[in-house]
Amino acid sequence: MNVKLRKRHRYLWMSLGIILPLLCLEAIEKIPTNALKDIPRHSCLLDIGVCGIDSDEFPIEISQTIDGNAIEVIVTSPLKSAFTIAYLSNQQAYDDSAIPLGAIHSMGDYTFNWSGEEKQYLLLYDKLNKATIYHQKLEVKP
């Protein structure tokens, strides 16, 4: 390496030493304060209007088999919860009287045994965050 290349190499590294930290600071300033605020959570306030998992944003179909001892839940939109359990309940929120049906992991068809209990709501409850994510008035199709 001759003197001219050494000088060029030194100036290039000095300029990179100044420019790269400035670019990193600029990138850090451009990070939004709440990156998740624009992502819909597909939830609603309880007892306000008609809402729940049957909305257009989160389509779920519920059907009952002919013999009457199974409920089929068809999840057609991805869940944002890591540990979701389906429950039958008399309320729109989870309580101790809710009857667990089974876990829902991802999109797809789920068939749960049902002994015909008279419960009014199907709940999807996030066990990790201890929050009712979705609720829907139970209207099974014959």
Asked whether residue 19 is assigned to any structural domain, the reply reads yes
Please tell me whether residues 24 and 84 are part of one structural domain: no
Q: What are phi and psi of 96, to 5 degrees?
A: -70, -20
pLDDT reported for residue 95:
84
Strand segments, DSSP code E, in the chain are 60-64, 70-75, 84-89, 99-104, 108-113, 121-126, 131-137
Residue 60: strand pairing partners: 75
pLDDT reported for residue 9:
95
Asked whether residue 52 is assigned to any structural domain, the reply reads no
Domain hosting residue 17, numbered range? 1-31
Going by C-beta distance under 8 Å and a sequence separation of 6 or more, which residues neighbour residue 104? 73, 75, 79, 84, 85, 86, 110, 124
Q: What are phi and psi of 5, to 5 degrees?
A: -70, -35
| CATH assignment at residue 76 | 2.60.40
Under a CB-based contact definition with an 8 Å cutoff, are residues 60 and 54 in contact? Answer: yes
For the chain, how big is the Rg over CA atoms in Å? Answer: 26
Asked whether residue 43 is assigned to any structural domain, the reply reads no
Please tell me whether residues 74 and 21 are part of one structural domain: no
Please tell me whether residues 116 and 69 are part of one structural domain: yes
Please tell me whether residues 133 and 66 are part of one structural domain: yes
Please tell me whether residues 65 and 23 are part of one structural domain: no
Please tell me whether residues 132 and 72 are part of one structural domain: yes
Residue-level pLDDT, tens digit, the chain, 142 residues? 899 999 999 999 999 999 999 999 999 988 877 756 665 554 444 444 444 444 455 556 666 554 567 778 877 777 777 778 888 888 888 888 888 888 888 778 888 877 666 667 888 888 887 877 777 777 655 5
